Amino acid sequence: MKKVEDFRVLGHKWLNYSSYIIELEAPEPLSPVQPGNFAEIEISNSPHVFLRRPFSIFDANPLTNTLSFYVKVIGEGTRVLGKARKGDKVNIIYPLGNAFSIPEKKNILVVAGGSGIAPFILYGKAMQKQGKQVTFLLGARKAEDIVLTEMFRPYGEVLITTEDGLLGEKGMVTQHSIFIGKDSPFEHIVTCGPEPMMKAVAGIARKKKVSCEVSLENTMACGFGACLCCIVETVDGNKCVCTEGPVFNINQLTWQT
Ligand SMILES: Cc1cc2nc3c(=O)[nH]c(=O)nc-3n(C[C@H](O)[C@H](O)[C@H](O)COP(=O)(O)OP(=O)(O)OC[C@H]3O[C@@H](n4cnc5c(N)ncnc54)[C@H](O)[C@@H]3O)c2cc1C
Ligand code: FES
């Protein structure tokens, strides 16, 4: 059930120069959330941020009624949210959007670039419960942008690429050696990150005949299907990423890969 509630800020954990986890406590028992769901967060402490900002739900704890979000600082909204003080109230609409599917196949590859890591802790937990074997491939330009690897490890093997070559394999995620060879050890791929990266991952999945889901991060305004600013073209016509996504099977999209 969707809720609009004032959450209480419990605190931030800064992960590097530009990203943090913010933990917030709900005023009442949490609505159930699924991996891939997102929330629209109001940034009321800034006179310059009018629209809510969308963030994937990073983690949810029904025992403590807390939600947490992984946030990369991009502009005013994400900067101001990073300065919220313990005890501040933050208005949140959640859970929004659809969720990743539970694939029938066992071996799953998660490919995450930059802030695209955000939906995958919940995903790793859910897949572990389903008895799936998950490998996380995390990519970033610089080694210092690779964060939270220890949080992913309980849910699967963690592979890394960095473009500066200071951590993991040098290059982009799509150049990782796991993709070398005709056959794929993976039977299903899920991905989130910059659109060119997701398109490249979709291309690999198609070539290797592996099913693939992407979580899109189109710019959003209303978050509930009214403004049409988050439209994506699909084989069944235009769809709102906020209500009919953010997760799409690549076969639904008209992407040329
Ligand atoms: C479904 C979804 C889930 C997301 N999950 C995460 C997440 O878990 N962690 C995270 O760090 N980021 C996430 N993002 C991106 C995040 O919403 C933007 O980085 C944030 O809104 C930027 O706000 P700002 O005020 O700091 O930047 P601004 O200065 O307002 O904008 C800078 C740039 O950010 C992008 N942007 C701005 N507003 C939006 C918006 N409403 N929707 C999408 N992009 C926007 C635009 O491309 C803009 O050019 C997600 C986006 C979507 C659509
Ligand atoms: S954000 Fe308004 S329709 Fe999707």
pTM: 0.95
Report the nearest-CA residue for atom 46 of ligand 1: 219
CATH of 107-252, one of 2.170.190.11, 3.40.50.10860, 3.40.50.80, 1.10.10.10: 3.40.50.80
3-state secondary structure the chain: CCEEEEEEEEEEEEEECCEEEEEEECCCCCCCCCCCCEEEECCCCCCCCCCCEEEECCEEECCCCEEEEEEECCCHHHHHHCCCCCCCEEEEEEEECCCCCCCCCCEEEEEEEHHHHCCHHHHHHHHHHCCCEEEEEEEECCHHHCCCHHHHHHHCEEEEEECCCCCCEECCHHHCHHHCCCCCCCCEEEEECCHHHHHHHHHHHHHCCCEEEEECCCCCCCCCCCCCCCEEEECCEEEEHHHHCCEEEHHHECCCC
Residue 48 has pLDDT above 90, yes or no: no
Residue 178 has pLDDT above 90, yes or no: yes
* Cα distance between the two ends of the chain: 36
The whole-number pLDDT of residue 237 equals 95
Q: Does the 3-96 domain belong in CATH 2.40.30.10? A: yes
Taking CB atoms and a 6 Å cutoff, what residues make up the pocket around ligand 2?
220-223, 225-230, 240, 242
Find out whether the beta carbon of 32 lies less than 6 Å from any atom of ligand 1: no
Give domain limits for the chain: 3-96, 107-252
The whole-number pLDDT of residue 61 equals 97
* Token pair listed for 32: 């159930």
Find out whether the beta carbon of 37 lies less than 6 Å from any atom of ligand 1: no
Residue 257 has pLDDT above 80, yes or no: no
The whole-number pLDDT of residue 44 equals 85
CA of 8 to the centre of ligand 1 (A): 22
Q: What is the mean pLDDT of residues 148-152?
A: 97
Q: What percent of the chain has pLDDT over 90?
A: 91
pLDDT band (50, 70, 90) for residue 97: very high
Residue 50 has pLDDT above 90, yes or no: no
